[in-house]
Structure formats: structure tokens, C-alpha cells
Amino acid sequence: MGETEFYKANSVKEACDLLAQFGERATLLAGGTDLMVLVNRRQLIPEVLVYIGECGLNYIREEETGLVIGAATPHVEIVRSELVQKKAPLLAKVISTIGSPAIQNQGTIGGNLGNASPAADSAVALLALGASLKLVAAGWERTVPAADFFVGPGKTVLKPGEIIQEIIIPEEAAEYKWAFRKIGKRRADVCPTVSAAVAVKTENGRCKAARIALGSVAPTPLLSKKAPEMLVGKTVDAALIADVAKAVAEETDPIDDVRATAWYRRRASEALVKELLSQVIG
């Protein structure tokens, strides 16, 4: 077995060039909070590690497209950013529940997304916020909606050679009322059993736009298709909330695992959606 090689990228261009050079042999490393678990347990022995934690992807700024967050920005900086608090408070809230203070210092938003865990907290927030991801490679770049980014557990639309450069949250996200909750066995360092975020925009008592996202209830972080269909244009009352919660629970495709049964997850999804929708509309 050959020894793992290590390369530190000093710029986004260098990162892309290294990925182009090593192709599928390369494994990206940023904060390491997911990757090192696998490496420590010898579940993954990378051939080539490409470190992108210090390649200029640590930033939070306002652009024409909206709020832009560099992929290697650590969780703690997003949570403490006044800009994020103002433009996307849901994201700040959700990310504040990731891990524990140490993990907040270490983990990055791009890592949380690229790891593509169905439980990824930041994914749930970004789906509810209608965010998109800018992907970059040596020779091209493209932007994909967060809703299209996840393909399966650990799988994304990232092509060989591509990295997540930044996350873009549209300006209008600030107009949504929102709520988030996750259920887990511990308050810190927990992989959620079920999590849910709702973001709703109302006008004159009617729902104008709505997004409901859930974690740990499907092969990917789940954005409900039925919720906006059922809510938009309607005056939302308790009966409609109950119907939406039921419909969202039916959209889930959970599994039995060490954290909970599929049965529990479906029931918890319904209860969470009901609770959160009532909070933002009630």
C-alpha cells in the first residue's frame, strides 16, 4: 500500500489544478471533521489529500446575487457574522447547532455540503433558503441550485475535478419567516435523528412562498415539493398545516438505522413540520 500524498492548495486555481492533475485519486480536505473520522477508523485511506482549508475560500460578503459565503468558511464565522444574522438568520441558527464549539471552529460549510450526508444541517438550511452553489474546476465553472446538488448518501453532482467555491443565498431570503428544529440524542456533537427547517413568506394573510426542508429522512437532504403547492396562495390555518405536515411526511423516504426507525422518522417529520409551520404562521 502506497503512502498517502499531501498537497496544500494556496489558491482556488491551485486547488483546481491539483484536482485536474490527480483526478479521482484526490480526496479534498478542509476542516477534516468528517474526513478524519473515516481516516482515523481506516475506512478511507486516501491516495492524495488536497488541502483547501487555506486557499482563499474563507469569506462572507454581499454581492449582486445575494449573500455569498466561501466554501471553506468555518461554521463559527458564519454563526457570528452580522451579515449572515441579517440576511439569512435561519442559516446562522442552523449552523450554530452543528457539533460543539470545537467542531464549529474546525468544520466548514463546504465540507458539510460536499460530504453529502442526508443529515447535513447546513444543507437543510440552504434548501429552505433557496440557495445555490457555485462549483469551479480547471477550465469551467457553473452554478447549481442546492435542491439539485445532492444525489444520494455521500453523492453529489460534483464532477471529477470540481470543488464547491461558494454558496449563494438570494437577497429575498431575508423576507422569509423561518423556524428550525432538530431531534437528536445529545445536544452537541450529534448526528440528528430528524431535522426540519421551514421558510415562509406571507402577504396580506396569504402564503406567497414556502419551502420546507428535512434532514435524515431520505437518501439526500429533502426539499418538499408538495409543501409549496399546498401552501402558496392560501390562507394558512391549523387544518391546512396538519394536511401539509401529513403530505411532507409522505414525501420522506427514511431508513431504520442506529439512530431511529423509519417509522419514528416519518412520525417525527410530521410532528416537526406541524410545530414549525405553526410557529412561523400562527
Partner 1 sequence: MYTLELKVNGQPYKVEVKATANLLEVLRDKLGITSPKVGCETGDCGTCSVILNGKLVKSCLVNALTAQGAEVLTLEGLGRPGALHPLQQAFHEHYAAQCGFCTPGMIMAAKALLDENPQPTKEDVKHYLSGNLCRCTGYVKIVDAVMAAAEEMRR
Partner 2 sequence: MALNVVGQRVKRYDGLAHVAGETKFVDDVIVPGMLWTKVFRSPVSKGTIKNIDTSAAEKVAGVAAVITGKDVPNNRYGWGGDQYVLNDTAVRYKGEPIAAVAAVDEDTAAEAVSLIKVDIEEETPVFDPLEAMKPDAPLVRPEGNVFMYGDRPFRAIVLGDVEAGFKEADLIVEGDYLHPWLEHAQLEPQTSLAVPDASGRLTVYTVSQALYLHLQSLCSVLQMPMNKVHYIGGTVGGGFGSKNDMHADHIAAVLALKTGRPVKWRWTREEEMLYSTAKGSWHMHFKDGVKKDGRIIARHVRSIHDSGAYVSLNAYVVDKHSFLVAGPYFIPNVYVQGYAVFTNKPPASSMRGFGITPATFAGEVQMDRIAEAVGIDPWEIRFINAFREGEHTATRRVLDSVALIEVMQTLAKTAGVQLPDRLMAMSSTQRR
Round to whole Å and give the CA distance between 265 and 262. 5
Q: Of 40 and 261, which has the nearer Cβ to partner 1?
A: 40
Residue 41 CB, shortest distance to partner 2, in Å, is 7
Chain residues that interact with partner 1, rule: CB under 8 A: 3-6, 8, 29, 31-33, 35-37, 39-41, 45-46, 49, 51, 53-54, 99-103, 105-106, 187-189
Cβ atoms of 163 and 157 within 8 Å: the answer is: no
Nearer to partner 2, 1 or 239 (CB): 1
Residue 150 interaction partner, one of partner 2, partner 1, none, beta carbon < 5-8 Å per kind: none
Least Å from the CB of residue 1 to partner 2? 6
Indicate the residue among 42 and 187 with the shorter CB distance to partner 2. Answer: 42
Nearer to partner 2, 40 or 235 (CB): 40
Work out the angle at residue 236's Cα, subtended by the Cα atoms of residues 233 and 242, and round it to the nearest 5 degrees: 125
Residue 1: name its binding partner from partner 2, partner 1, none (Cβ under 5 to 8 Å by kind). Answer: partner 2
Q: How far is it, in rounded angstroms, from Cα 220 to Cα 163? A: 19
Q: Which does 4 bind (CB under 5 to 8 A by kind): partner 1, partner 2, none?
A: partner 1
* Residue numbers at the binding site for partner 2 (CB under 8 A): 1, 41-42
6 is in the binding site of which of partner 1, partner 2, none (Cβ under 5 to 8 A by kind)? partner 1
CB of residue 44 to partner 2, shortest distance in Å: 13
Minimum CB–partner distance for residue 31 and partner 1 (Å): 8
In the list partner 1, partner 2, none, the entry touching 51 (Cβ below 5 to 8 angstroms by class) is partner 1
In contact, 86 and 195? CB cutoff 8 Å: no
Least separation in angstroms between CB 122 and partner 1: 17
